[in-house]
Structure 1
Amino acid sequence: MGAEREASVESGRRSRGLLGSLVEIGIIAVTAILLAVVIKTFLAQAFYIPSESMQPGLEVNDRVLVEKPSYWTGTPERGDVVVFADPGDWLATNQVPPAPTGFRAVLAKVGLYPTGDHLVKRVIGVAGDTVECCDSGRIVVNGTPLDESSFIAPTDTCDGPMAQDNGSYVKGGCRGWKAVVPEGRLFVMGDNRANSADSSFHLCSPKRQKSDDPACGNAFVPVSDVVGRVTVVFWPTDRFGLERRPETFESLD
């Protein structure tokens, strides 16, 4: 009888021990998920590069980490590579990747699985800036030509050839254009200027800009749509590297 009682007590201890372990595992899992959500919301988030528009610095399917604290009290600066939500039909249907499913979808929700439903470009102009193409083939910001040779893809004629037939003019072999960045907006461009549907691509003609056509705002990215600044390529490992603001932007007022 005593042996049976001891066996029953031991079984109860094991049950309570197992239950306690399960509760502990559950608490750890919930804490980890909450911590991941906090990190995604306030600190950092993973994305992958869906197109060739940021070559050579960022290649298709590179995984990058975007940090957010830089813009807690400030705004994106010229030269920053930023990830932002589509400001209005910039992403073609075939550029939007299928949504992750299963466990990957859960990881994406907490920022641990890279997503590709945003865009990544370099900030060229901020509110109040005048951005123009071109001076001897170079993009001009507030009258200062940018030396972008160290980070953009090589071009045959100029550093801003993607502007469409939207009233632009030919100047030195380039399509000329000019824009003043509105308050609360950014003028962004891809580093692969021959293959980037960016602000210059969506820019209205000078005449339409002066008419205050609402559609012309589509060329500029709202600061509120910016998720954060690209700081590091973390995958593939052989391309691991930090993303820094080019020195040429330091010369701008």
Structure 2
Amino acid sequence: MSVRQSTEPGEGGGTKATDSAEERRPRRKLTFWQELPILVVIAVLLALGIKTFFVQAFSIPSGSMQQTLSKGDRVLVDKFTPWFGAEPERGEVVVFHDPGGWLEGSPAGSGSSFGRNVQKVLSTIGLMPSGDEKDLIKRVIAVGGDTVECKAGSPVKVNGLALDEPYVYPGAKPCDNDPVGTVTVPKGKLWVMGDHRNDSRDSRPHHNETGDGFVPVDDVIGRAFVVAWPISNWSTLPVPSTFDRVPDAPGGSAAPVGAPAGPEAAALAAVVPVALWRRRRARKGASRGR
């Protein structure tokens, strides 16, 4: 018994046989060069998202945080937890915006105007360091409500406890070059110091200026938690144990940097598997249609 092919009208005015043939016809695949611009756009958008909301890489251009951080190191900064209300704690290494005048006298960017403009565009998406970044990196010594004692010939004290500071650059004294006496940190502010005390313009030399050397918590970009580059310097940046012993104050609560390449690596790592999956799926669809 023979079976006749149905020619009943299908939806949209075609026949069922025609519709089936169209469904079996493989869709035209994009070539690699047609997909490349799409992948680049996706990678840039992911890089911007990662840099803006999650993790950003920063470069260290000075020796103010030696020996913890060396010039040329790349650190990763956690920008995610502050979105949930987390505030900087004693002992953390943080990146923050210039509170006002801390970077005065820093070398201006060099090169042609075209080169500076290109650098500005690429640094916006994290593909190279910024030439005019107004951010610094220091260690949080005290938070709002704490009392800091920084006197010549003595260790730094927070709420009466003398800090054991093995991270301070060898040969540098805790407070000898910039003694400020006793200081109480206002609520919502931080007292920060570089680990290379003899080569760091931090809260101490700015204490008698506008702002009294304090850094507003709102100016903090995030906490540096790992040295990611160079590989030979890879290390985490934990809170030194001495800060765990600092008592809370009564009624209290417990160097310029540029943005280099970093987020784009994570973005590309996310894009490549998706691209491979799409191409594999397209090839399977084409083989089924043969």
TM range (shorter): 0.7 to 0.9
Higher RCO (Cα < 8 Å, 6 or more apart): 2
In the alignment, does 2:167 pair up with 1:151? Answer: yes
2:204 counterpart SS class: helix
In the alignment, does 2:251 pair up with 1:240? Answer: no
TM-score, structure 2 as length reference = 0.67
> How far 1:123 sits from its partner (Å)?
0.3
Judged with a 3 Å threshold, the aligned counterparts in structure 2 of structure 1 residues 128 and 63 are, in CA distance, closer, same or farther, namely same
Gaps of 5+ in 2: 1-26, 248-290
Partner of 2:126: 111
Paired letter, 2:57 = A
Query: Does the CA contact (< 8 Å) of 2:153 and 2:175 recur in 1?
Result: no
In the alignment, does 2:137 pair up with 1:120? Answer: yes
Q: Percent identity?
A: 45
Partner of 1:167: none
Paired letter, 2:97 = A
In the alignment, does 2:221 pair up with 1:227? Answer: yes
Judged with a 3 Å threshold, the aligned counterparts in structure 2 of structure 1 residues 76 and 112 are, in CA distance, closer, same or farther, namely farther
> How far 1:161 sits from its partner (Å)?
2.5
Judged with a 3 Å threshold, the aligned counterparts in structure 2 of structure 1 residues 161 and 98 are, in CA distance, closer, same or farther, namely farther
2:99 counterpart SS class: coil
Query: Does the CA contact (< 8 Å) of 2:149 and 2:158 recur in 1?
Result: yes
Deviations 1:139-159 (A, max 9, x none): 0111111100x2111346x41
Query: Does the CA contact (< 8 Å) of 1:186 and 1:223 recur in 2?
Result: yes
Deviations 1:210-248 (A, max 9, x none): xxxxx4414111111111111121222211111111111
2:38 counterpart SS class: helix
> How far 1:69 sits from its partner (Å)?
1.9
* Structure with greater Cα Rg: 2
Gaps of 5+ in 1: 1-15, 164-174, 205-214
> How far 1:17 sits from its partner (Å)?
6.2
Query: Does the CA contact (< 8 Å) of 1:80 and 1:229 recur in 2?
Result: yes
The size of the alignment, in residue pairs, is 215
> How far 1:101 sits from its partner (Å)?
4.0
Partner of 2:94: 82
Moved more, 237-246 or 132-141: 132-141
Partner of 2:75: 64
Paired letter, 2:128 = Y
Distance in 2, Cα, partners of 1:75 & 1:142:
19
Judged with a 3 Å threshold, the aligned counterparts in structure 2 of structure 1 residues 118 and 134 are, in CA distance, closer, same or farther, namely same
